[in-house]
Structure 1
Amino acid sequence: MKIKPLTTNLSALSMKKLMVTGSIIMGLSGAHFVHAQTVAGKDYSARSEVDKTFDMVGANAFGQRFPAESFTFEDEVTGKKVIALTTSRHQNSKIYQTHPQWTPDGKHIVFRSDRSGKGLTYAISVDDHEITQIASGDDGSSFHLGWKKNHAYHFRNDSLIRLDLNALLEDSDAGDVANKSSYEKVIGIIDQHLHPNGMALDHDEASLYFSTRVMDGESSIYQVDLASGNISEVLTVPFRIGHLQANPYKTGEMMYCWETGGDAPQRIWMASIDSDGQVTNRPLYHESDETWVTHEVFLDQDHIGFNVMGHLDRLQKGDNGIYSLNIRTDKLTFHGQQNWGGYWHTAGTTDLKWIVGDTFNGDIYLIEYGQPNHTTLLTTGHRLTSKSPFSSEAHSHHSISPDGKWLLFNSSLLTESDIMIMPLIDD
């Protein structure tokens, strides 16, 4: 069928200017605007949003919504159901595994994407998988969700900002997003020379910690009182601090690592602040010269999980694989190892029933806690061409939902980088 051209009485437009933007025709006369999408006698105005597909939209707009792009499939090897929450051509990745992924009410997962032209933060509904942009401009993608309240904390230039995520998501859903500043509160102003890096929210949500490099070879951790905005130094160490994370279950404790970009002399450290403000700083899991530790996370109030790498011949001479450590008693529990370089990332349920580990080729395994022989392959092939950690394909960085029912992870199975989710345990 041929579409007839749009015809207009040009003499009636002698003092008007005809503007065409995309498929929207606007006749301008003073303050008068005619919004129409009528072609060949058919009005397409009701479908004015369908062109905002995940491949097309590049506008950096706070509170804008994107249609669901999820795709559900069965793993070709295990037959288990996997849901790709993102499937666009853009780079999409979950928040790093040391931080919360789900909003406290469990209704949204927060992730990072460059779909608006730069790395920013978005929230995806767990019900209908629609996506809302919750950051814009200079906000970046380093957001820390609240543990109990639907807030998100981030730095913008020298300001620590708290975003009322609940109000924003409700207004976006209603199609009535207000000015960005109406959802934000500036908690404190950071000295310009500090340049905040890592960020951790205390369990009681009364304090937020951030790390910063003091000078070459030294880093510090600072505490921000969220009620007053006052900032105080917690400690300084003679190395680069990375992956700062608060104990999600106990106030006044944080774990961080000696960050080298590779094998650190002593990877895992813990700082504790008592009721009098006294700070204790100590290493966790003392390493040997032939030990390469990585990807430490809290499992519950008293236990952490981490991986001891086995991807090199010299590392296979000693103990390697996934371990958990009781940080009160130093009791160590082994959870197994895989071939071809072994496990890489670690996560676990808070009831200490299950551990999840992945391998360099993107296979993900479920392990019964402390029972390496009771291991089940969950899903496969999320790093299709990789046999080592040093390829460009996605790092799993998997996390388990607070209720222990869902596994969230990064994948390069469908595109270069997507986020996927699947049930942890079969019903």
Structure 2
Amino acid sequence: MTIKPYLFITALACTVIISSAQAQIGKRFPSERKVVKDPVTGTMLTFLTSTPAGDSKIYQTHPQWTSDEQWLVFRSNRAKNEALAVNEKSGDIVQITEGGYTGMLNLARKSMKLYHMRSTAPATDGLRRGGPLQVIEVDLAKVLADSKAGKMQPANAYQRVCGTIPAEMGAGGDMALDANEDQVYFHVGKDEAYKHLTPGTKIDSAFGPRKMGAGPNGLASMNVKTGQIRYIVSVPFQIGHIQVNPWIPGEIIFCWETGGKSPQRTWTVKADGSGLRPLYPEAATEWVTHEAVITPDEVAIAIMGHRKVPGTKGAAAPGTAVGGANPGQEAAWGPSGTREKPTGLGIVNLRTREMVIAGQTPSGSGLWHVGGSKDGRWAVGDDFSRSVYLIDRHTHEMTMLSTGHKQTAADHPHPTFSPDGTRIEIQSAMLSEDGKSMNICIIPVPEAWLKRTYPKP
């Protein structure tokens, strides 16, 4: 059957119109909220999404809740390449961006604002890449109010371009919003980093089997009010996981990204470029990963103990890949990740530089993604079984809150505490038939734990 050209064009135009309508900011989706009992622990889990639409939470280094603590922001194929918000009480889901985004979603803690990057380069293969990057501010209060009222305006009534990062800076989507909410920090590519690198600096090469980590990279900032860009610092390695201390302005945390074990994973620097140093100086035998700022003075880290000690039952022969559910066990990562040395959920004090181990799983992979409540009461971590563990930092007691989130899931739970420290958000494949597609899930801190009191020091 031959389609006449004008019919094809009309059909194409209709498709574009439909696609555009489907991608509109403020679009509402029906509630999928349901409460499910964990089959092992008995914890009542609140799934804010429950259909296989490819949901994923914001990374655990960044805020998840809006400043009014009523909505959680997440990513989903319900509106591909757009951000959505789900109301924790009603389950209402609303699309909160239009025009796409790249990289990290940054929720303000003091205002109902969202910041993200957006590529200005045309997409030739369905992907947005290269070219200048805009930093966008979204007025969430206005979006959510107008969506509820059913009186949406054009997208530019809610979204503002803060400024544009030139293509030659080679910026990536890894971005963090300063505690004062007037600056965003982002990493820049090799060419720009070389311009600001101290002469004679030795450039690090790729590390580990994934061939990542080579430098240099750099950090820069943009003033979201004026669009002014300032350079911060260059380092001789690949930068990843940029985050801020959300209570202390101008304090930045980032990592040496290799896709696994790094020679020195965690770093900190001030926004003016001063104070660059390792956050937790690590030994070659330590596998440090997934740092997250949890209080004004503290950063949680995972010190992995997921390898069998060489020569013990179940250990792989030298040079042999272990494989299985736990990634990164290949010998090419070096002599790290065994329990011959202290491992567990570590908490580093940014001021005193002391590190304490808050807890550790008794067996298995060890904790992988970690976090904590801002009041210093709780720590939380997931492991490779996708189980989630809560730790009382006063007593070091540990309990498994939830399990059964399926090792086949598209990603790990990535637990993050609510601002008030009473709930933990994860992403979970517990409800998915394919064992991969994830949903947004809330785990409560046990009531008995919340009622605990402690003697004053």
TM-score in same-fold range (> 0.5):
yes
Which of 188, 204, 213 is 2:189 aligned to? 213
Counterpart contact for 2:409–2:428, Cα < 8 Å: no
Where do 4+ consecutive residues of structure 1 move more than 6 Å? Answer: none
Distance (whole Å) between structure 2 residues aligned to residue 134 and residue 278 of structure 1: 34
SS at match of 2:78: coil
Q: Is 2:248 the partner of 1:253?
A: no
| Bigger relative CO (Cα 8 Å, ≥ 6 apart) | 2
Aligned to 1:126: 88
Deviation readout 1:172-200 (Å, 9 max, x if unpaired)? 01111100011122111211122333111
Aligned to 1:306: 301
Shift of 1:392: 5.1
Shift of 1:87: 1.2
Distance (whole Å) between structure 2 residues aligned to residue 225 and residue 326 of structure 1: 29
Counterpart contact for 2:387–2:403, Cα < 8 Å: yes
Aligned to 2:452: none
Aligned to 1:238: 236
Deviation readout 1:137-179 (Å, 9 max, x if unpaired)? 3334632111201011111222111111110110001111100
Which of 366, 369, 379 is 1:345 aligned to? 369
Q: Is 2:41 the partner of 1:78?
A: yes
Do the aligned partners of residues 365 and 417 (structure 1) sit closer, same or farther apart at CA in structure 2, a change above 3 Å counting? same
Identity of aligned residues (%): 36
Which of 169, 174, 182 is 1:198 aligned to? 174
SS at match of 2:142: helix
Which of 384, 401, 410 is 1:360 aligned to? 384
Aligned to 1:269: 267
SS at match of 1:343: coil
TM-score (norm 1): 0.81
Counterpart contact for 2:422–2:444, Cα < 8 Å: yes
Counterpart contact for 2:103–2:172, Cα < 8 Å: no
Which of 284, 305, 316 is 2:279 aligned to? 284
Which of 155, 170, 188 is 2:117 aligned to? 155
Distance (whole Å) between structure 2 residues aligned to residue 412 and residue 347 of structure 1: 20
Distance (whole Å) between structure 2 residues aligned to residue 181 and residue 249 of structure 1: 31
Counterpart contact for 1:121–1:141, Cα < 8 Å: no
The aligned amino acid for 1:293 is V
- Structure ID, larger Rg: 1
Q: Which runs of 5+ in 1 are unaligned?
A: 1-20, 22-56
SS at match of 1:334: strand
Counterpart contact for 2:33–2:90, Cα < 8 Å: no
Q: Which runs of 5+ in 2 are unaligned?
A: 1-10, 12-19, 120-132, 192-213, 310-337, 449-457
Counterpart contact for 1:296–1:307, Cα < 8 Å: yes
Give the number of the structure whose residues are more often strand, by fraction. 1
Which of 139, 149, 158 is 1:183 aligned to? 158
Distance (whole Å) between structure 1 residues aligned to residue 36 and residue 162 of structure 2: 44
Aligned to 1:422: 443
Distance (whole Å) between structure 1 residues aligned to residue 413 and residue 364 of structure 2: 17
Counterpart contact for 1:161–1:185, Cα < 8 Å: yes
SS at match of 1:279: coil
Do the aligned partners of residues 410 and 324 (structure 1) sit closer, same or farther apart at CA in structure 2, a change above 3 Å counting? same
Shift of 1:280: 1.7
SS at match of 2:141: helix
Counterpart contact for 1:255–1:271, Cα < 8 Å: yes
Distance (whole Å) between structure 1 residues aligned to residue 242 and residue 413 of structure 2: 19
Distance (whole Å) between structure 2 residues aligned to residue 332 and residue 192 of structure 1: 40
SS at match of 2:390: strand
Counterpart contact for 2:39–2:404, Cα < 8 Å: no
Aligned to 1:295: 290
Do the aligned partners of residues 278 and 264 (structure 1) sit closer, same or farther apart at CA in structure 2, a change above 3 Å counting? closer
SS at match of 2:401: strand
Distance (whole Å) between structure 2 residues aligned to residue 127 and residue 174 of structure 1: 18
Q: Is 2:78 the partner of 1:115?
A: yes
Counterpart contact for 1:120–1:141, Cα < 8 Å: no
Distance (whole Å) between structure 2 residues aligned to residue 151 and residue 70 of structure 1: 25
Shift of 1:64: 0.4
TM-score (norm 2): 0.76
Distance (whole Å) between structure 1 residues aligned to residue 137 and residue 420 of structure 2: 25
Distance (whole Å) between structure 1 residues aligned to residue 65 and residue 386 of structure 2: 23
Shift of 1:323: 0.7
Shift of 1:107: 1.5
The aligned amino acid for 2:275 is T
Deviation readout 1:264-288 (Å, 9 max, x if unpaired)? 1000000114xxx452210011111
SS at match of 1:360: coil
SS at match of 1:342: coil
Q: Is 2:346 the partner of 1:323?
A: yes
Give the number of the structure whose residues are more often helix, by fraction. 2
The aligned amino acid for 1:115 is R
Distance (whole Å) between structure 2 residues aligned to residue 258 and residue 399 of structure 1: 22
Aligned to 1:380: 403
Pairs within 5 Å for 1:383-394: 383=406, 386=407, 393-394=410-411
Counterpart contact for 1:406–1:422, Cα < 8 Å: yes
Task: Identify which range, 81-90 or 132-141, moves more after superposition.
Answer: 132-141
Counterpart contact for 1:112–1:141, Cα < 8 Å: no
